Chains A and B, each alone.
Chain A
C-alpha cells in the first residue's frame, strides 16, 4: 500500500541550528502538507503546497520556515534557526483528488 515516508525519524539539534525534514509523498498525489504536534497536544496545520507553490500557511509558519519540492519526489521543510519551542513531531501529509490526507510516521525534532 502506498505510504508517505519521512526522514529522519528523530533529530536532535542545538538552538539556532538549521534543520531540514524530508518527506516522500505518495507518488500520484498532488497536494502536500506539513503539520506539527507538540507533545500531548493536537495536530496543527503549518503549510500546504500545490503546483510548486504554497497554497496556504498558518501563523505558525513564519519566516523561519520554508518548504521546497526540489525534485519530483521529495518535499522538504526547513527551519532556519531553530528555537526551543520548535520541538515537536512534524508530520508530512499528501492528498490526491479525493482530498483525503494521508500522513507519514513523523519526524521528532528535539531542540536543546
Chain B
C-alpha cells in the first residue's frame, strides 16, 4: 500500500525558532494536505496543495508540493507555544474528488519557552 514517511519524528525547539518538516511517498499523489492534531482532538486542516511545485502560505505556515508529486514540506516560522502538537501530512490519490487520504507517520512538535 501507499506509505508516507515523515521526518523528523519529533522536534524540540525554542519559541521563536523556525521549523521544517517533510513528507515523502512511494507513490504519486494528486493533492497534498497538512493537518495539525492536538491531544484528544481531530486533525485540523492547515494547508492544501493541488499542483506540483505549488508553494502556499497560511500565516506563519508555508508548504510546498514537490515537483515529483511524491513529497511535500511544511515550514513554520517564528514558532509559538500553541504550535505544539502533531503535524500530519496526507496525500490524496488520483481517483477523483472522493478519494481517501493516506496519512503520514506524524511529526511531534514541542516548543519550549
Are A and B physically bound partners? yes
By a beta-carbon cutoff of 8 Å, the part of chain A in contact with chain B is 4, 30-31, 33, 35, 42-45, 48, 50, 55-56, 58, 91, 95, 97-106, 108
- B99 contact from A30, A56, A105, Cβ within 8 A: A56
B1 CB → nearest A CB, Å: 9
Q: Mark B41-55, 1 if CB is under 8 A from A, else 0.
A: 111110010000000
Decide yes or no whether B110 CB sits under 8 A from chain A.
no
Question: Using an 8 Å CB-CB cutoff, how does the interface string of B88-111 with A read, 1 for contact, 0 for none?
Answer: 101010010111111111100000
Q: What CA separation (Å) do A28 and B42 show in the bound complex?
A: 20
A91, B42: Cβ atoms closer than 8 Å: yes
Give the residue of A95, A102, A104 whose beta carbon is less than 8 angstroms from that of B98.
A95
Q: State whether A105 and B33 are in contact (beta carbons under 8 Å apart), knowing that A44-B103, A48-B98, A99-B92 are contacts in the complex.
A: no
State whether A42 and B44 are in contact (beta carbons under 8 Å apart), knowing that A95-B97, A99-B31 are contacts in the complex. no
Candidates B31, B43, B97, B98; contact of A91 at CB < 8 Å:
B43
Q: Contact residues of B with A, CB < 8 Å? A: 31, 33, 35, 37, 40-45, 48, 88, 90, 92, 95, 97-106
Of all A-B residue pairs in the complex, the 9 with the closest CB atoms, nearest first, are A103-B42, A43-B103, A31-B98, A45-B100, A99-B97, A105-B42, A42-B103, A103-B43, A106-B42
Which chain B residues border A48 with CB–CB below 8 Å? 98-100
Q: Give chain B residues whose Cβ lies under 8 Å from the Cβ of A35.
A: 101, 103
Residue of B nearest to A4 (CB): B42
Q: Which residue of A lies closest to B43 (CB)?
A: A103
Q: Which residue of B lies closest to A58 (CB)?
A: B100
B44 touches A103 (CB 8 A): yes
Provide the bound-state CA to CA distance between A101 and B45, in Å.
8
> What's the Cα separation between A68 and B31 when bound, in Å?
28
29 sampled A-B residue pairs with Cβ under 8 A: A4-B42, A30-B98, A31-B97, A33-B100, A33-B101, A35-B101, A35-B103, A42-B103, A42-B106, A43-B37, A43-B88, A43-B103, A45-B100, A45-B101, A45-B102, A45-B103, A55-B98, A56-B98, A56-B99, A91-B43, A99-B97, A99-B98, A99-B99, A101-B45, A103-B35, A103-B43, A105-B41, A106-B42, A108-B40
